[in-house]
Each structure stands twice: as C-alpha cells, then as structure tokens.
Amino acid sequence: MNVTFDKKDALNGTIAVQVQSTDYMPSYDKKLKDYRKKANIPGFRPGAAPVGMIEKQVGTSLLLDEINTAASKGLYDFIRENKINMLGEPVLNQESLIEKIEKGIDYTFKFDLGVAPEFELNITKNDVFTKYSVSVDDAEVEEEITRMRKRFGKLEDVSIAEQDNDMVYLNLVELAEDNLPLEGGVKADNVPMLLSALKNDDAKALLTGISKGASSTVNIFTLFNHDEQEMSHALGVAKVGVADLNQTFSFEVVDIKRNFEGEINQELFDASYGPGNITSLEELKTKVKEDIKGFYTGQADHLLEHNMMDTIVAKHNVTLPDEFLKRWLMERYADKFNTDNIETAYLPEANYLKNHLVEEKIMAAQNINVEETDIRAAAIEYTKQMFGGYAMSGLNEDLINQLIEPSLKKEDYRSKMINAAVKTKVNAAVKELITIEEKEVGKDEFMKIVEEHNHSHHNH
C-alpha cells in the first residue's frame, strides 16, 4: 500500500491511498471460503457449492468491504503515524468514486481533510479582566425571605378567587354550536388555573372574584394563552388535535385554593435550611445574605470566565479550514446542515472549535490532566445548578452522589461532564496567568452588565 499527503496549504490537504490487490485479495479469498463453508445452497451439501456461485451471490459486497477496510486502515494509520492534527473527518474526493468494482486490480482513493492551525499561546499578566463583586442590600434579603415564606406556605381553601396567587380548579366541557355539550367532545376535571398566569384580560377578569360552584363559558384558547402544549397537557388531547377544538367551553368552579405565606418560625427555618441549623430571624437573614452573595459571586465568576475566554480566543485569531468544514458538516450531518443554512449554522460550530483548540493549547502548556475526581466534581456542581436558587435544603452530599452515580455511566452525560471538568481546570489555569481587577457594583448595575454581555454574545 502506498500513501501520500499533498498539503495544499496550512489548513488543507489531500491524502491519496493506493490500495493494491495484495492489500485486499488474501482477506477477500479467506472470507469467501468461510462463507462457502457456512452457505446453505439448495442442491449442494453445506460447503460444497461452487466458488463461482458463491461469488455471484456475495462477491461484490465482500470485495467492496475488503477494499474499503484496506483504504480506511491505510488512511488512519498514516494520520496516526504522521501525527496529523485534523479537524472533522476526512472526506472522500469526488475523483475517487468507483463506477465498477473488480477484484485483482489496484485502486487509488483520495481523501480531503482539514488541518488544525498552528499558533503560539500568548496569555500574560498584561491581559487585564474585571471581576465584579455584587453588594447585597437588606431589601433583597427581605424579598428572598418573602419568597421562602411563599414556597413553604400552605394551600388553604377560600370561597372567592381574589388574589393573584389564588388557584382556581375548573371542570371543563367542550360545547357544540348550540352551546350544549359536544357529543364525543373533550371533558377535563379539576384543571388548575393560577390567576397570575392568565395573560388574557378577559379570561382573568372572568375568574377574578368568582366563587366556588359558579359556572359559565370561556374561550378555551384565550384561557390557556394560546399555548398548545399546555392545552394538550391540561385537557388530555394530542397536541396535533388542539387546533381542531371548538373554542367555547363551559366550566364549573369546583375548588379555590390560596397560598398563605408561612410564619417566620422554627418550622420555616427547618424547611429552608434543615432541622436546627437556623434558630432565629437574625440567623436566617445572615444565612440568606450569604447565599445571595454566593449566588452573585458564582454569576460574576461565570461572567469573568466568559469574557476571559472570548477575549483570549479572539486575541489568538485562530483560523480554520472553513470551506472544508462546511463541506464535511453537510456530508456528515445532512439532517442538520445544508446549502441553505450552512453559512449561519456553521458560525456556532466554528466558534466552539476555536474555543476547543485554544483550550487544548492551554492544557498542553500547563500540563493539565482531567482525573476521575474532576469529572465527579463537575457532575456534583452541575447537579447543584440544576436545583437552582440560593439554598438547597435536603440536598446533602450523599443524595447528590446517589443522583449522579447512574448518570456517570451514560456515555453522553459522562462526555458532558468531562468537557465541564476541562473547562473548569482551564479557567483556573488562565486566571493564574492573567490580571484580575475587582470592582464592586450593585445588583441592578451587575444585571445590566450581564444582559449586555449576553446580548453581544448571542449576536456574535
């Protein structure tokens, strides 16, 4: 087998693999004989059918498999032995298409490939970034305690729906044009409607002030804010059938419940932070303030890391074999990329790849390795973020480990956690190389900074 590499430029090249008959014929003959031994051909004892008959049945497919296997082996052996850092996967050149396949002759396959760019890492203390420290005032602490009281409050029956946090439970019946129940129409019982979630003014006015036992009619689409997914779930109708519903439904109010805020007492303290960890209002305020501060610290760190890596990647001006990568994406992922969308759909792929190449360069320069403990730490952090909020009552270390254990055995999840662990270690290494200046800001100013960053990032 003869393999050559024609490097067109710094980012593109073509590998030619000449597959000789001696590379595939021995294996082809062996597999043909093996197939003959097992073949059950009417009129012949097992293993006694003529070779020519066997070849007519399976020869072409066997030959194609062996030639492809030999070409693929030659290609990837060459890439590995010559340490070619390619991007994407090799794409078969159109010149290599074979119209007719025959045994005993040589074939040459040409594969185009994209090559990763070469660049020197340039990160120094002259790279200056801002990390924001967000001040937390008493008003924000009080707001969070109010949210806690609502979260751990109690639902109680009331006779009239008057407040935004009142939940009205309806029995709904689809009506025909004569305002009588539609034969075979939709019926749904105890459908909960939160007054604050009603976006249509007429629907909200209809249910506000209504009493238990009252009945009327309503436009079902305005009641559900024209949300077909929510209507499908609440009414037990397939989403594709929602549009066919008659718009007029009758309803009866079967229940009204109100969420009363919990009292500020030991029961609230225990529900929020576990039994006995908080014993007074002052301790609660202190803990809430710490949690809010911790939340903003995490957000500020996240913002710093985004700005840091975006700026560093842009600074290195990484160039890619764009045209090759677009072609590879359209061939490899034809369901996602096509000639109509490739120009816009390629941009996030290119940005991700540039980030990845810079991360790889940093890992090599800083001798960074990702261990199993790093992967588990990433999974734990990811699980905590999924639960959100400032406090995670009841979410102890044992419970988190129980949650992540089965997930880490799944390939997709594990791959995601490896990427997260890489990002964490790369970010930590970069922070040691740059200069970070702290700046204290208020909540509103910080949220505005985050919003501006997100807007520019999403429009990049």
pLDDT tens readout for residues 315-335: 999 999 999 999 999 999 999
Bridge partners, 275 (sequence order) = none
Domain layout of the chain by residue ranges: 2-115, 128-139+278-458, 154-260
Percentage of residues in the chain with pLDDT exceeding 70? Answer: 95
Q: What is the structure's pLDDT at 390?
A: 45
Rounded mean pLDDT of 153-163?
91
Indicate if the pLDDT at residue 392 is higher than 70.
Answer: no
Q: How many whole angstroms separate alpha carbon 240 and alpha carbon 206?
A: 28
CATH code of 154-260, in short, is: 3.10.50.40
Contacts of 229 (CB under 8 A, 6+ apart): 239
SS3 category, 206: helix
The single-letter DSSP state of residue 245 is S
Rounded Cα–Cα distance for residues 404 and 417 (Å):
11
Residues 6+ apart with CB under 8 A from 331: 91
Classify domain 2-115 by CATH number.
Answer: 3.30.70.1050
What is the structure's pLDDT at 355?
94
* Structure confidence by residue, pLDDT tens digits, 267-308: 999 988 889 999 999 999 999 999 999 989 989 999 999 999
pTM: 0.69
Q: Tell me the Cα Rg of the chain.
A: 33
Nearest to 441 by CA among 141, 137, 129, 138: 137
Q: How far apart are CA 76 and CA 84, in angstroms?
A: 10
- What's the confidence (pLDDT) of residue 165? 85
Residue 393 is predicted with a pLDDT of: 47
Q: Round the average pLDDT of the chain to a whole number and report it.
A: 90
What are the CB-based long-range contacts (under 8 Å, 24+) for 80-83?
82/5
